[in-house]
């Protein structure tokens, strides 16, 4: 560690030695909140609160720690562009949700209305998730804009095990 004592003073040298011993024991990796991937999972909610992304601003939609970390990384950009189509697209992307936003002039709708088509892939979905998704969209949309419709297409990949049995003559041979 570099010397804190710039001048040749016995008190400052003693202070420097004490600080050197104490500070060398501190794990500074957890203090580097810029490197979000190094943070322990229990620190993420505190950082989310600091970046103002708790609740309806995306935190409720996060399904994993990687979703939470991605949302925290995008938080400043999301707040910078809040109220734009760009912010809506990016908040959905950071949560691994594919969405297509159509504004009123793209589908001959009423002025300042928009629709969102959401495609969920292996994403747990229920009424609560839908309500939270609507609230999140309300947080990031333009204040004058009106959400006209949300359509959700959900797809799950599953391994299916099939078995069949046919009995034509009531005679079974196992061999």
- Residue 87 counted as domain residue: yes
Q: Evaluate whether residue 172 is within a structural domain.
A: no
pLDDT level of residue 115 (50, 70, 90 thresholds): very high
Domain membership of residue 101 as a residue range: 55-155
Q: What is the CA radius of gyration of the chain?
A: 27
Q: Is residue 109 part of a domain?
A: yes
Residue with tokens 């589908």: 107
Distance CA 69, CA 36 (A): 6
Assess if residue 6 is contained within a domain.
Answer: no
pLDDT tens digits, one per residue of 42-72? 889 988 898 889 888 889 888 889 889 988 9
Q: Exposed, middle or buried by CB within 10 Å (0-12, 13-18, 19+), for 62?
A: buried
* Residue at 30 is within a domain: no
Residue 44 falls within a domain, yes or no?
no
Residue 114 lies in a domain: yes
Please count the structural domains in the chain.
Answer: 1
Distances (CA, A) of 40 to 13, 49, 50, 65, 76: 36, 15, 16, 10, 21
As a whole number of angstroms, the distance between CA 48 and CA 138 comes to 19
| pTM for the predicted model, two decimal places | 0.63
User: Is the residue at 107 inside a domain?
Assistant: yes
């Amino acid at each position: 560690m570099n010397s804190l004592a710039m001048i040749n003073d016995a008190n400052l040298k003693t202070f420097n030695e004490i600080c050197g011993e104490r500070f060398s024991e501190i794990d500074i990796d957890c203090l580097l909140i810029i490197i979000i991937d190094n943070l322990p999972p229990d620190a993420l909610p505190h950082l989310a609160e600091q970046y103002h992304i708790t609740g309806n601003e995306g935190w409720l939609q996060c399904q994993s720690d990687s979703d939470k970390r991605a949302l925290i990384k995008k938080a400043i950009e999301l707040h910078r562009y809040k109220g734009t189509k760009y912010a809506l697209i990016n908040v959905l992307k950071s949560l691994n949700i594919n969405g297509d936003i159509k504004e009123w002039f793209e589908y001959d709708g009423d002025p300042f209305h928009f629709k969102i088509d959401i495609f969920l892939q292996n994403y747990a979905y229920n009424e609560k998730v839908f309500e939270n998704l609507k609230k999140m969209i309300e947080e990031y949309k333009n204040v004058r804009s009106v959400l006209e419709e949300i359509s959700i297409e959900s797809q799950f990949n599953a391994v299916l095990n099939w078995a069949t049995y046919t009995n034509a003559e009531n005679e079974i041979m196992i061999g």
